[in-house]
Amino acid sequence: MQTVEKKSVPKHLRKYTAEQHYEHYTAINHAVWRYVMRQNHNLLKDTAHEAYTDGLRASSISIDKIPNVDEMNESLAPSGWGAATIDGFIPGVAFFEFQAKGILPVVNEIRKLENILYTPAPDIIHEAAGHAPILADPEYSAFVKRFGEIGMKAIATKEEHDHFEAVRSYSNLLEKGNATEEEINQAKQEVDECEAKITELSEAQIVGRFYWWTVEFGLVGDLDDPKIYGAGLLSSVGEGSNALSDEVEKLPFDMDEVINTGFDITKPQPHLFVCKDFKQLLDAAEEFAKTMSFMKGGTESLEKAVRSANTATAVFSSGLQVTGVFTDLLKDDQGEAIYLKTTGETALAASDQQLENHGTDVHADGFGAPIGQITGLEKPLEDLSDDQLKDIGVQIGNNTELNYENGIQVNGTVTDLVHHNEKLVVISLEDCTVTKGEEVLFKPEWGAFDLAVGTDITSVYAGAADGENYYTVDEAQETPIPEKTQVELNELYARVRAIRDNSSNNLVADLQPIHEQLKEDHPKDWLLRLEMVELLSELAETDLKQTLLEELNNLKRENEEFNTLIERGLSIV
């Protein structure tokens, strides 16, 4: 029997993970999960993609209780996936890297009872019950992983990064529950101000649109009779039930239409895109990738990296990868970049592996590199043999001068030559001067100069080439354990749950005292009344069941949302 290896989180991504603390989910939390899952399973058994029901079982997801993510991680292993708990918002680059590595990031929190229909913030219902089951389909699984590889390289603007941090701070304040009104208002104002500064459509935003209209809110199959596969629909009682109605316009999937269509996460979607099959998504993702900086390279891509003001990687034609925060570009008269600069910690890598003696400890204060062809050479510098390098004076111990066609001059003594995959990627020099006309780009007193070799920039992308070595490794976040609230009501929910699990022989007698306390102290709680009606549904009509139904009808009249929730609950009792 073949052993299936469980997924483990790479070191540099562990700082985004958190302990699940499964034992701290309350009886109300489990009841919320159970209500949503019963509703969705009843609806989706006929309307979801065929992989959904089988995928629920395969991923160790029960309808009756919140899943243990460690158990999910084991159960997903045969399909080439794993799962890891994360604590709330994480950067897009990190989120997509989890998926690229076949790890489903699952948020710890579960929506509150008052948000049971739908929550715009991710929660464990959305992640576990929405995303995990469809991953059982091999073609869809391949698409999500490939899209993760694409999404993790999408470059965002500085304004988007600032907005993300503001949203995360605001969210943390709300979650703590002890922030003052002034602190909350100030944080919300910061979010609004950051959002107003976002004026251009970045790669990251376009990736977000593609992801939203497919992985989150996608339909598949025949345009007139599609099936649901998007996690936002599979995990939402409200939108999932409405998605296939005539109220929602169905559009044939078209990549250009998708990436040019914005969305509002706070409102139901007015239209949805229907792909023919998951292969169409995978093909579209490959076409989309061709438009991105990591596939195009060049000056335009470098400019995006500079505007991001965050960690990015530029790849030279030699295969050398330079990771850092890009801050300056020197251009020629045609507007093409001929020299790039980073500020702060920088690392050099090749084939996604950091080069020895070229980590952030060595390049702690930034990095500069010319881009272009050496004058008089018939082929790129990186392709010269050892003898050809000697012919132009590039050998250890020699003082050498390299003149670029773009006018940059490099003059210094060679101390090291680094090759990778039979290409020269770095020439280390001491006593080195780098100039462009009268402009001095590097002085000998600044230390050794490590010359990046390459005639062109072939790829630029967000994040690091070798994240394990580039990023400071932090361990998993210690998630604060929430204070217990509604202790008495939770106890009532727990008692009903125990009665259901243990198959009571005297339901009415067991439930009667719970109902008395519920009626006295919690007259507005509809969900526990619904669970009690469900337990009593197999018995002949009883006074208790009739009383509970009357109370539910009264609640329906008092509150329109209660009316929807109770009606849906009773419909599957």
State the Cα–Cα distance between residues 76 and 54, nearest whole angstrom.
Answer: 12
Amino acid at 253: F
156: helix, strand or coil = coil
Q: Which residue has the tokens 């469980």?
A: 6
Burial readout 468-497 (b: 16 or more C-beta within 10 A, e: otherwise)? ebbbeeeebbebeeeeeeeeebbebbebbb
Q: Which of 501, 498, 572 is nearest to 533 (CA)?
A: 572
The continuous run of DSSP H or E covering 228 comes out as: strand 225-228
State the Cα–Cα distance between residues 382 and 319, nearest whole angstrom.
Answer: 9
State the Cα–Cα distance between residues 568 and 563, nearest whole angstrom.
Answer: 9
CB 506 within 8 A of CB 116: no
Q: Which residues are annotated as a binding site for Fe cation?
A: 126, 131, 216
Residues constituting the chain: 573
State the Cα–Cα distance between residues 307 and 292, nearest whole angstrom.
Answer: 15
CB 101 within 8 A of CB 79: no
State the Cα–Cα distance between residues 562 and 569, nearest whole angstrom.
Answer: 10
**For residue 21, with 0-12 CB atoms within 10 Å meaning exposed, 13-18 middle and 19 or more buried, which class applies?**
middle
Cα of 533 vs its chain's centroid, Å: 40
CB 462 within 8 A of CB 155: yes
Tokens standing for 518?
């519920």
543: helix, strand or coil = helix
Q: What is the dihedral of CA 114, 119, 121, 125, to 10 degrees?
A: 90
Q: Which residues are annotated as a binding site?
A: 126, 131, 216
551 phi/psi in degrees, rounded to 5: -65, -40
Q: What is the dihedral of CA 316, 319, 323, 329, to 10 degrees?
A: 0
The span from the first CA to the last CA of the chain, in angstroms, equals: 43
Give the residues across from 440 on adjacent strands: 435
State the Cα–Cα distance between residues 53 and 61, nearest whole angstrom.
Answer: 10
333 contacts: CB under 8 Å, gap ≥ 6: none
Give the residues across from 313 on adjacent strands: 323, 461
Tokens standing for 235?
């995990």
Q: Which residue has the tokens 């007698």?
A: 509
Tokens standing for 352?
């996604």
Tokens standing for 568?
């849906």
**For residue 198, with 0-12 CB atoms within 10 Å meaning exposed, 13-18 middle and 19 or more buried, which class applies?**
middle
Q: What is the dihedral of CA 312, 316, 318, 319, to 10 degrees?
A: 20
